[in-house]
Amino acid sequence: MNSTDTAAGPHPTASVLASPARQGTAALTLGAIGVVYGDIGTSPLYTMKEVFAPATGVPLDAPHLIGAVSTILWALMIVVTLKYVILVLRADNHGEGGVFALAALAAGAVREQPRLRTALLVLGVLGAALFYGDSLLTPAISVLGAMEGLQVVAPSLADAIVPASVVILIVLFVVQRRGTASVGRWFGPVITVWFVVLAITGIAQIFRAPQILAALNPLHAITFLAERGPGLLLTVGAVVLAITGAEALYADMGHFGRRPIRLAWSGLVLPALALNYMGQGALLIAEPDALENPFYRMFPQAMLVPALVLATLAAIIASQAVISGAYSVTRQAVQLGFLPRMVVRHTSAGEAGQIYMPRVNVLLLVGVVAVVLAFRSSSALASAYGIAVTLTMLITTVLTWVVVRRAWGLHAGVAAGATAVFGAIDLLLVAGCSAKFLDGGWFTVALGLVMTALMLVWWRGRRLLLEQLRTDAIPLADFTSTMDAPLPRARRTAVYLVAEPGVVPQALLHNLKHNQVLHERNVVLSVRFVEQPWVDDVRRAQVTALPHGFWQVVLDCGFMESPDVPRALARVSLGDGVTIDPFETSYFLSRETVVPKPRAGLARWADRLYAAMSRQAGGAVGYFRLPDNAVVELGTRVQI
């Protein structure tokens, strides 16, 4: 059975609501505010103080404050609004977004060029791998940034920032198993209040220094960047913190739809962010000593505790979105054949997208807590944060160019014009974040490379395994044509799962050899994961009748779906009124034990790594939702 699985994109996402078709635009827009914009919405907690940190060398005076705020505003306009909201949201894969969905769309457009197709899929793998770095850093920097308000409330609480952050993160990960259905409905309203507060506090400060409104003029951003000279990259590396989370716009499109995401951005999120950044700039013009924490210094003393509580809630929601996204990306990687099967638990009976993956959750918890303890402040984390995000943005631009040129068929000049400016900006952002490589940026790059290596080793090893099985296999048509010998027939249906259609499953050969019996109805089943997110039920099954009580059935599954074999087979007709009764069906599985073979298709280290990953892979029973009391597993040793 083909082990290629599904997902929802890199920031693949959060509180997984009902499909867009089931909800109105208002409800979807509110949901998008809570899920899509939690990450970018918490950026004001730390961005401004990092732009004017001593390492950047930017003077803290009115002209430079206006220039810095102008740069942030126009980064939001160009990168988020023009690139993602207007262009990239159009590149949907059957309504779904995210780096995997985009890579599959681009790969499908060059299907006749196998090498280019493979390169594009690998590029998508790299983008997904980099997302795991974002999954560790976003909860850490968001919660730390919120908890640093404790020091503003009471300087004596400074030592409590890290312990409080660790406790909040541990609780957040522990409750993941319960799902987000009960609290997810509050995400939209809470983040809406957050953005309203951002806007109100920004407006209040703007009145203190109205000259900050000059930041709306892009010439101030151009002048500011041009004057930075050798310090340009360090400044850009700080400004990029304002646009982290932009990938969520595209990754969450399948949950909310293009229009609600655009309405939320233009109607609330962008104006609130712009007002708050201008408000922080105005505050620093009036009170330069507020640079220690300009966000919390915008609030009067009496409002600091409520602001701290609201910021903490916003940070938790932003973290939840990334955690859920990590589950979604992992499931996509599994179903597209880049990671071994893992346990997937559905936490909502009504929402198919709400999933919990225990192994991923534990690894994320350990990683996030380690990051908090290692970096200990949002300023230290800012050095590591950004490079993974900007590299993913660059990958998105490259894949979008392929889609615009090859899938949409636009002229090369038009396609280049639509993406070249964004590509140049992405390269500048990557260079700016790379300047902080030795200060922590290496962490996310190293993590991304490790995850890419794991995924490519599994993908290559799986292909070699299937090739070996295909080499040793007996054609199913030849086998069934000779099965006219009188053998005892059990009065049930046997379903034999096999990776490759058209070959005899090893489990069938073992059953025949050891038990000398066949069933009345024998279904040889393959589950094939395709490069589109969803498959209509009417097109899901392809049935081929074979002689002597055999049928070949191929079930297509999209990379956003969770395979449910019994449910799918219950809808299959084998012809002549013959159906598959779930209460009279047994499932036979072949469990392959991979044995490394010298001088095979993988390097020795990769061979051993694949074998180890294979031993840790989750079972097919839970993954395909097979009934425990109707499954027989038979082992096979395979050398690759």
Looking at residue 597, its pLDDT comes to 65
Burial (CB < 10 A; 0-12, 13-18, 19+), residue 32, is buried
Cross-strand bridge partners of residue 556 = 528
Q: How far apart are CA 44 and CA 155, in angstroms?
A: 21
Closest CA to 354 of 16, 37, 2, 9: 16
Q: Reply yes or no on whether the pLDDT at 594 is more than 70.
A: no
Across 176-180, 303-307, 344-348, 440-444, the highest mean pLDDT is recorded for: 303-307
Looking at residue 12, its pLDDT comes to 34
Helix, strand or coil, per DSSP, at residue 234: helix
Looking at residue 307, its pLDDT comes to 93
Looking at residue 18, its pLDDT comes to 38
Bigger pLDDT: 75 or 9?
75
- pLDDT tens digits, one per residue of 157-186: 888 999 999 999 998 888 888 766 555 678
Q: For the chain, which domains are there?
A: 20-323+334-440 (1.20.1740.10), 473-639 (no CATH)
Q: Reply yes or no on whether the pLDDT at 275 is more than 60.
A: yes
Closest CA to 183 of 15, 391, 7: 15
* Percent of the chain topping pLDDT 90: 33
**10 Å Cβ neighbour count for 460?**
16
What b/e readout covers 335-370, taking b as 16+ CB neighbours within 10 angstroms? bbbbbbbbebeebbeebebbbbbeebbebbbebbbe
Across 57-66, 138-147, 534-543, the highest mean pLDDT is recorded for: 57-66
What are the phi and psi torsion angles at 589 (to 5°)?
A: -120, 145
- pLDDT tens digits, one per residue of 533-570: 788 888 888 898 888 889 999 999 887 787 889 989 98
**Helical ranges in 287-411 per DSSP H:** 294-297, 304-335, 358-375, 378-384, 387-402
Looking at residue 218, its pLDDT comes to 96
- pTM given for the model: 0.79
Q: What is the mean pLDDT of residues 112-123?
A: 90
Q: What is the mean pLDDT of residues 319-332?
A: 82
pLDDT grade for 219, boundaries at 50, 70 and 90: very high
Helix, strand or coil, per DSSP, at residue 617: coil
Q: Reply yes or no on whether the pLDDT at 591 is more than 80.
A: no
Cross-strand bridge partners of residue 518 = 489
Looking at residue 376, its pLDDT comes to 87
Q: Helices 412-434 and 387-402 meet at what angle, rounded to 10?
A: 170
